[in-house]
Amino acid sequence: MMKSVQSRDGANVYALADHSGIHLPASCKQGACSACVCKVVDGHVKHTSDPACLTPKLKAEGYVAVCIANVSGDVTLQTHVGAKVRQARAEEADRMRHQHG
Ligand code: FES
């Protein structure tokens, strides 16, 4: 399902979605739990601080913790990808364990 909302640059993505009737999952609201994570399909958003729940690889792949990210121009996001991120992190941690253990 596609939903469009009007915004202005600098608006918090999570709050903007919420005010527009798009209720994304969230828990910590601090970039730590990955509940709110979305994937940028087009455009970009700006994290206001470094999200602890995302590895550099996940960030490079376009994942954003929208609770601590601001709108920056037109952007298209895929929502509800938190579970995917948690799985990718678990796999990455597993690989590390095998490399170092
Ligand atoms: S709500 Fe926890 S990372 Fe956004």
Give pLDDT, residue 99.
85
Whole-model pTM: value is 0.90
What distance in Å separates the CA atoms of residue 92 and residue 86, rounded to the nearest whole number?
10
Q: Which residues are near ligand 1 (CB < 6 Å)?
A: 26-29, 31-36, 53, 65, 67
Domains of the chain: 13-100 (3.10.20.30)
Name the DSSP letter for residue 38: E
Spell out the per-residue pLDDT of the chain, length 101, in tens.
788 888 888 999 999 999 999 999 999 999 999 999 999 999 989 999 999 999 999 999 999 999 999 999 999 999 999 999 999 999 989 998 988 76
> Are 71 and 17 a contacting pair, CB within 8 Å?
no
Cα(50) to centroid(ligand 1), Å: 12
Q: Assess contact for 52 and 76: CB atoms under 8 A.
A: no
pLDDT for residue 80: 92
